[in-house]
Chain A
């Protein structure tokens, strides 16, 4: 096996185990697995889009702790713009735009002002919590979710079929974006240049690549991805906006990004794995298979993040220049 395969092995094993368990469980009781599958494919798009946001930023050398804030801001603008205009697509676009604006702001802080990137991201998070809580008004209604698109034949597949292939456009788009970004990062000029800026900015600069330009562009694009995730969260996944509704998804996404070794396909597997774990936990509790306080179920995804970081964080290598401001010599 080549090194690429070996690096991908933990992710592939995870996917294989998950699929095996899912198929087995489906044959035992579809009444249990269908809600689990539904929940997985309702939760995963937000996580994977947020993880892609972190990944694109870090591949270019910008650590983005502000994903949580980008998700929350775009969930907010997406929902209220959709409610005000009555058009859900306008809401989605507004969500993407607000995510991108916060991405540009992060680039402004990190590239132009050279503020510590982690502090800048934290500032974004705190700012968004403040402004969305202040502007929050109760009783607004969105014009409903987008219509699901059913793919014939595929939607009859067991377990994941009905949940995955009867998804809404943004959920499909999130999967398409995983593959697009994989190709873009590893097989296009943009990807090679972006990665060179994230690994060795002075070398990139020497051959005439604009480090600042790529960092601005990619952080904005990444913000747009988080924006899409946030809009999906409020408009599709939950159907309304609540204060602090992102509930640490942005930070979970960072763990997924690390787990996925800054590779889009592995990040997607990681997002599915996380979504599956929390869906299984709540289904187990719903069926009263386990009788524990709900708080114990609520903390499971976060315990999982800690466990994943404890196991993987030390053994993976982030882009070399992630977090470092680049000063031209």
Chain B
């Protein structure tokens, strides 16, 4: 069977998710648990009622942002695998603005979000500069910055750090942010999620309708052609990384201000890698980041209840997500399973490896 590229681009990701869930079911059964109990608990914990749905939206929110962060990078031919560290930095500094200053809510919330975004921007922009002007590949630099930022955020909110909550004793966390810095909820649903949706539309607009977006994609597709056309590839590389880091930082800020109310070390883990899955599942389309993030949000929100009710190790979700990632990257496997012929257009796999050297 042969499908048009458009139909296939919808069917392949969905098939990837279903196949991964099926493999997950086999693994759960091998682990001695009941897949039926596990998956019903997963759904109950993620979409079973208003509170569960609110939790899914909470989990999906930072993933929209890290997903968009990865997408922005990939559009410009860069692979930012450091969204995790950028998000943590944003989350910490948003918390600091949130508890340290006393301001009216109308200023406080945006200020904390923007400061968080800028703090995510800085390390990413550094990676961009190292790439553009020193030839250091962003995959290595961003993962190193990840490790550095994880340690530094641990320190800054730890017992010896400047942002430590004096009432927390040995727990590494900041004080609660002031009420004026809280991102409110609509009923039980977190407003932050809807901000994420707005930002996804903004990024979509950026790439579809603006000169800057055009420059970003041009550099991503052919750096040399871009230079020939008068676009400075180096500057665009720094800009793409900066925007990518800003988005991750905003994601962290919203997580702090809208969900936890403070920054606590060890709470916002795994969001950077999940962002990669969101981006690739969305086939680096900014709007598709929303459903992709929601899907991962469902898996993450229901994870605890699933593990609790079926006694399967909660890390099964990580395995399922890894299989999803694998299958969306290797559509050939899904085609083989579905007995599909190759689609009409060959433009399916993303090439962004740009070597290690300066060129």
Which residue numbers of A lie inside 8 Å of B, CB to CB?
Answer: 63, 65, 109, 113-120, 122-123, 126-127, 129-131, 133-134, 136, 247-248, 251-252, 254-255, 258, 293, 295-296, 298-299, 302-303, 305-306, 309-311, 313-318, 322-325
Contact = CB atoms under 8 A, between A and B. Distances in A.
Contacts, number: 150
Interface in B341-359: 349-358
Contacts of A295: 151-152, 154-155, 158
A113 B355 CA distance: 19
Contacts of B352: 116, 118-119
A323 B139 CA distance: 13
A299 B148 CA distance: 5
Contact of A117 (B144, B155, B276, B353): B353
Given A119-B329, A127-B322, A305-B144, A316 B154 contact: no
B315 A310 contact: no
A255 B358 CA distance: 15
B134 A116 contact: no
A28 to B, nearest CB: 30
Contacts of B353: 63, 116-118, 323-324
Contacts of B332: 113
A119 B79 contact: yes
B319 A130 contact: yes
A317 B357 contact: yes
13 contacts: A63-B353, A123-B326, A129-B322, A133-B313, A133-B318, A134-B315, A251-B140, A293-B161, A298-B151, A306-B130, A313-B130, A314-B135, A323-B354
A91 B277 CA distance: 32
A309 B140 contact: yes
Interface of B: 27, 79, 81, 130, 133-137, 139-141, 143-145, 147-148, 151-152, 154-155, 158, 160-161, 273, 276-277, 280, 313, 315-316, 318-319, 321-323, 325-326, 329-330, 332, 349-358
A130 B329 contact: no
A322 B329 CA distance: 20
- Which has the most chain B C-beta neighbours within 10 Å: A115, A258, A296, A325? A115
B358 A313 contact: yes
A299 B144 CA distance: 9
B322 A122 contact: no
Nearest to A114: B349
B278 to A, nearest CB: 12
Given A114-B349, A133-B315, A313-B135, A299 B152 contact: yes
B322 A310 contact: no
A131 B322 contact: yes
- Which has the most chain A C-beta neighbours within 10 Å: B27, B134, B356? B356
B316 A310 contact: no
A313 B152 contact: no
A324 B355 CA distance: 9
Contacts of A309: 130, 134, 136-137, 140-141
A251 B81 CA distance: 12
Contact of A251 (B133, B143, B321, B323): B143
A314 B325 contact: no
